[in-house]
Amino acid sequence: MRIPALIMAGGKGTRMGLAIEKPLVPFLGKPLIDWVVNALTSAKKVSRFYVVTSPNTPKTQLYCQKKGWRVLPTDAKGYHEDLKQVVVRGELRCPILTIPADVPALTGEALDKIVTAYERCGRDYLAVFVPIEKRRELGLSISSTDEYKGVWYAVSGVNIVNGLRVQEEGKIETSAIITQDKEVMLNINTVKDLEIAKQIMQKQKKK
């Protein structure tokens, strides 16, 4: 299975408190979004990718268009409404990998494992969650959480959803990966998260 991917890059990024749009924040020599694109282009199970933008991220949209990347603009009505909008515009009636633009440690290998897990789970939705205590141990923020089988987890923002089900009302049957892998744990929500992620990735490069 090879599936398309969406880089969700239309958020306001207000928790960063920076003048620059979050996908364009410099991280070890290149914008955050470039790290995500590098992971997607090296993944064997990703067929193509689109960058989802909004009126909140006009500079990101322009940057991506100059790079020659496919862009799907939205009206910024919220994550789920924007997802519905791009599924229609992109004619994505198939499983779709969704990724935030702020996970610089992500790799193609990690994405391939997630797609494989989706193939095996037999559900229409696969979420990737991180134990809250593990993010706290690293000093990372806890900005978004969700419950799975009675336990609350930090949301990584990496998911796979069947595009055929996105327009439907009601809850989609969900499976989940619970992981401590830094590839998905290091999503950036604050300036402190940014600095911690830089330190961790620099240490890994020296090994």
| Rounded Cα–Cα distance for residues 52 and 118 (Å) | 22
Containing structural domain, residue 121: 3-206
User: Would you say residue 114 has pLDDT above 90?
Assistant: yes
Mean pLDDT of 157-163: 94
The four Cα atoms 128, 86, 103, 76 give a dihedral, to 10 degrees, of -110
Burial class (CB in 10 A: 0-12, 13-18, 19+), 41: exposed
Average pLDDT, the chain: 92
Token duo for residue 104: 């610089």
Across residues 15-42, what is the average pLDDT? 94
Average pLDDT over residues 97-117: 96
In the chain, the number of structural domains is 1
In this structure, what CATH number is given to the domain that contains residue 47? 3.90.550.10
What is the pLDDT averaged over residues 146-164?
94
In percent, the amount of the chain with pLDDT more than 90 equals 78
Q: With bands split at pLDDT 50, 70 and 90, how would you rate the model's confidence at 34? A: very high
- Indicate if the pLDDT at residue 13 is higher than 70: yes
The pLDDT of residue 89: 86
Q: How confident is the model at residue 169 (pLDDT cuts 50, 70, 90)?
A: low
Lowest mean pLDDT among 34-38, 132-136, 137-141, 143-147: 143-147
pLDDT at 9: 94
User: What pLDDT, in 10s, does the model give residues 48-97?
Assistant: 999 999 999 999 999 999 999 999 999 988 888 888 899 988 889 899 99
Range with the poorest average pLDDT among 74-78, 92-96, 104-108, 171-175: 171-175
Pairing of β 145-148 and β 70-73: unpaired
Q: Would the pTM of this model clear 0.85, i.e. be above it? A: yes
Q: What is the mean pLDDT of residues 166-192?
A: 87
User: Which of the four pLDDT bands, split at 50, 70 and 90, describes residue 170?
Assistant: low
Distance CA 69, CA 61 (A): 9
Asked whether the predicted pLDDT for residue 18 surpasses 80, the reply is yes
CA 204 to chain centre: 22
